[in-house]
Structure 1
Amino acid sequence: MAYKITGQCITCNLCDSVCPTDAIKKVNGSPWIDPELCTNCIGSIHTVPQCIAGCPTCDGCVQISTDYWESWFSTYERLVKKLTKKQDYWEKWFSVYSHKFSEQLQKRQQHQATF
C-alpha cells in the first residue's frame, strides 16, 4: 500500500466518498486504507489519488509511505492477483494459439510435401 491515513485526519469522510474503489474503511472509528482494494487510482480516469485530492487538510492526512520495498511488494502482489484471476484467459489464449500454430505447421508440411 502506498498511502496511509495519518493522525492529522479530521474524520471529515471526504476521502471515503471520493475513493473509486471503496478502499477506505472505518476501523475503530478511524479511517483506514485497505491495501487489497487500493489501486492508488492507477489505471483509472483519475490522474491523482482521489483520497489526497479530496483531503481538506492540505497538509495531507493521507501520505505516501516512505518504505520503498513495502510499496513495491504491495504493487507486485496486487498485479499478481489480477493475473492469477485471469487463469481462464491464459488457458484459452494458449489453446487458441497452439491450435492456430498447429494449423500453420500442417499447411507448411503439406506445402513442402507437394514440392
Structure 2
Amino acid sequence: MAYKITSQCISCNLCLSVCPTGAVKVIDGNHWIDPELCTNCVGSFYTVPQCKAGCPTCNGCVKQKGDYWEDWFANYNHSLAKLTNKKDYWERWFEYYSQKFSEQLQKRQGEVLGI
C-alpha cells in the first residue's frame, strides 16, 4: 500500500531527498508518489516510510486507503490493543523516558533550590 501526498503539502521538497526508491515525483508543481515505485521503505534499513517521517506538516504524506478488509483488520487490531491495554513500542518508550525525565528534572530542581 503506497503513500500519497495530500493538499496539505507545503512543497518543501524534503520527501524528494529522503525517498530511498525515488518514488516521489513533481509533476506540474504538484508532488506525487508513484505507487509502482513506493515500497513503504520495506526492505530498506528504515523502519518507517521516510516521506511520512520527514514531513513537517504531519498530514502532507499519508497512507493510501487499502481495500475494505485490510482497513477493517487494521482498525480491529488497533481497537483490540486499546481494549486489552496493550501499548505499542512508541507509547511505552514515551512513558518510560518522560517519567525518567521528570525524575531527573525534579532532582535537578531540588539541587538548585538546595532541598
Same fold (TM over 0.5): yes
Q: How does 1:15-94 map to 2 (within 5 A)?
A: 15-58=15-58, 60-68=59-67
Amino acid of the residue matched to residue 62 of structure 1? C
The percentage of aligned residue pairs carrying the same residue is: 64
Write the distance in 2 (CA, Å) between the matches of 1:2 and 1:26.
16
Q: Secondary structure at the match of 1:26?
A: strand
What's the CA shift string for 1:17-45, capped at 9, x where partnerless? 10001110011111100111111100110
TM norm structure 2: 0.56
CA distance in 2, matches of 1:27, 1:68: 27
Show structure 1 runs of 5+ residues with no match.
72-115
SS in 2 for 1:31: strand
Deviations 1:57-114 (A, max 9, x none): 12x2111112326x8xxxxxxxxxxxxxxxxxxxxxxxxxxxxxxxxxxxxxxxxxxx
Paired residues in the alignment total: 69
SS at match of 1:51: helix
Name the residue aligned to 2:2: 2
Q: What is the SS of the residue equivalent to 1:11?
A: coil
